[in-house]
């Protein structure tokens, strides 16, 4: 089996904001420690979409990454989201992340401009050539507008520093073809597809609901890897309402609502996102309670 370069369980961590709208580094450190020490994460993704990276400045990204590395970098890996729709800017963020102590990079397909596949490949290879950190490419066409086609994945898999894929394409046949033909480590980019992806050779998850389900998601993965398929199916069924319910509206909004209900201080979301409505928050917290979380 393909070995996971960043462990099995990762979460795309939210970015806590203070009441004045600034990044709350103390709360970020507290949340990171909770995820690693109590939810048993192998790695955290900082400055991803769930971390509202499109709204944070380069300096905020640097400070947040450095704070999390200082808090948990001795016992978990820290992966920095550096993807933008501008290759030059992505290269700047990748260099900044390396200097801040990141263990790896998450690079999303350039969005909005919808580059053709040769340009998509050139973008990822430029980032891989420029630094020394291992890279997860992030395939999420319903957000970016552009899938990373199978031929493109096979092409870029030849680069030593492109080690895996965060897969939110919802095309398990295409994913299994790449897994079978390359050494790329496939991580589910949608919590609910973790078990199906494991079944075709995936290695783990970069989750959102795993802010809450982390310890049990890790147990699910370990149960599957131990060969207990019936047990893994049962664990998946118990958590499925949370896996899907976190996306009843934008996932970041509901994660922050759930964390606030659990005694954390994640703050609100930066525009254009809003805070979850009281009804949305209550419905999500009820799902957590029903799942025993």
The catalytic residues are 138, 166
Residue 154's Cβ-side half-sphere holds a number of Cα atoms within 13 Å equal to 9
The 10 Å CB-count burial string (b at 16+, else e) for 170-206 is bebebbbebbeebebbbbbbbbbbbbbbbeebbbbbb
Q: CA nearest 51: which of 220, 171, 206, 222? A: 206
CA distance 267 to 37: 22
**Torsion sign across C-alpha atoms 264, 10, 224, 141:** positive
Measured CA to CA in angstroms, residue 49 lies from 55, 150, 164, 252 at distances of 10, 24, 18, 8
Q: Can you say whether residue 167 is alpha, beta or left, with left for phi > 0 and alpha for psi between -120 and 50 degrees?
A: beta
Q: CA nearest 284: which of 249, 236, 233? A: 249
Query: Tokens in use for 288?
Result: 């957590």
Q: Max Cα separation, the chain?
A: 50
CA distance 214 to 226: 18
Query: Tokens in use for 103?
Result: 């263990």
Q: Are 84 and 55 in contact (CB under 8 A)?
A: no
3-state secondary structure of 166: strand
């Amino acid at each position: 089996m393909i070995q996971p370069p960043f462990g099995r369980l990762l979460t795309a961590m939210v970015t806590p904001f203070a009441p004045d709208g600034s990044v709350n580094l103390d709360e970020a450190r507290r949340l990171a420690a909770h995820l690693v020490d109590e939810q048993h994460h192998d790695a955290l993704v900082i400055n991803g979409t769930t971390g509202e990276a499109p709204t944070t400045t380069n300096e905020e990204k640097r400070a947040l990454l450095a704070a999390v590395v200082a808090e948990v970098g001795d016992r978990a890996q820290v992966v920095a989201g550096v993807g933008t729709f501008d290759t030059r800017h992505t290269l700047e963020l990748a260099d900044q992340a390396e200097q801040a102590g990141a263990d790896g990079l998450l690079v999303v397909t350039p969005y909005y401009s919808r580059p053709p596949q040769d340009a998509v490949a050139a973008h990822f290879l430029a980032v891989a050539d420029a630094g020394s950190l291992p890279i997860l490419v992030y395939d999420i066409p319903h957000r970016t507008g552009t899938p990373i086609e199978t031929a493109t994945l096979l092409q870029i898999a030849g680069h030593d520093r492109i080690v895996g894929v965060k897969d939110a394409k919802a095309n398990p046949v295409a994913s299994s073809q790449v897994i079978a033909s390359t050494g790329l480590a496939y991580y589910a980019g949608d919590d609910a597809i973790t078990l199906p992806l494991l079944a075709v050779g995936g290695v783990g998850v970069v989750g959102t609901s795993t802010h809450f389900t982390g310890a049990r998601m890790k147990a699910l993965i370990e149960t599957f890897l131990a060969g207990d398929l019936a047990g893994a199916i049962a664990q998946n069924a118990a958590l499925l309402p949370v896996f899907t319910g976190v996306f009843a509206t934008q996932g970041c909004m509901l994660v922050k609502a759930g964390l606030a209900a659990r005694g954390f201080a994640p703050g609100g979301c930066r525009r254009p996102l809003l805070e979850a409505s009281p009804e949305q928050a209550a419905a999500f917290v009820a799902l957590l309670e029903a799942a025993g979380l």
